[in-house]
Amino acid sequence: MFFYGRMLELLTEKREERAVGALSTQSREEAMQFRIETVKKRATVSFPDNTQMSGCFFVSTVSALGGGEELVSELLAKNREYLPFESDEGKTVLLRKENLVVVCLAEDATDNALPGYKRVPVVIHLLTGQIMNGKVSFAQPETQSRLSDFLNSRDAFFRFEDGEKTCLIQNRFVKLIAAD
């Protein structure tokens, strides 16, 4: 009697495992239907403790602004506290957006080729002690075309170019900005 009871128990467990396995496969297929296509954008991020990490952000293949893939600047402007990032070691981590001081892009998007963009030479002193020389590029209405107008209208990150690379600098880590 014990032997048959145990056999029945094992058979029931096997059926349940198969049912769960089938459900898992079906659930995975359903989840794939809702998956958002992404591409990787290379960047180096700097943190408040002066450490850096290189790797890739995952951005959408479709920009909300139209005209191609999402820009890293669009990703940083979203209302998200954590952003997935794949390190050069192949490990995917979540970066806390508020702790990103500077994001230097490996590929420069042509979003500053639009009419009306200004490039103002500046020296930026960060709270981390880092000093950056280059240009802040921006587009504002003619009535608000000063650098201070632009910086005061930004929530988090602004675009900075030093001739070699394009970076996105988080406003809250800026100590001061001087004209160059």
Phi, psi at 110, each rounded to 5°: -90, 35
State the pLDDT at residue 44. Answer: 97
Q: Residue 111 domain-assigned?
A: no
- CATH number of the domain enclosing 174: 2.30.30.100
Domain count, the chain: 3
In this structure, are 42 and 24 located in the same domain?
Answer: no
Q: Are residues 156 and 172 in the same domain?
A: yes
Domain ranges, residue 67: 38-101
Are 97 and 50 within one domain? yes
Asked if residue 95 and residue 43 are part of one domain, the reply reads yes
* CB distance 42 to 121 below 8 Å: no
11 and 55 belong to one structural domain: no
Q: What is the mean pLDDT of each run of 10 residues along the chain (180 residues)?
A: 45 47 54 71 96 95 78 90 96 96 82 66 96 88 82 84 90 92
* Same domain assignment for residues 125 and 148: yes
Name, in order, each residue with C-beta under 8 angstroms of 56's C-beta and a sequence gap of 6 or more.
40, 41, 42, 43, 85, 86
pTM, full prediction: 0.75
Q: What is the pLDDT of residue 88?
A: 96
**CATH label of the domain that carries residue 77:** 2.30.30
Is residue 43 assigned to a domain? yes
The answer on 44 and 30 residing in a single domain is: no
Residue type, 79: N
| Boundary-marking domain end, from 47, 72, 101 | 101
- The reply to whether 14 falls in a domain is yes
**Would residue 112 count as lying in a domain?**
no
Residue-level pLDDT at 122: 95
pLDDT on residue 35: 64
Say whether both 27 and 1 belong to one domain: yes
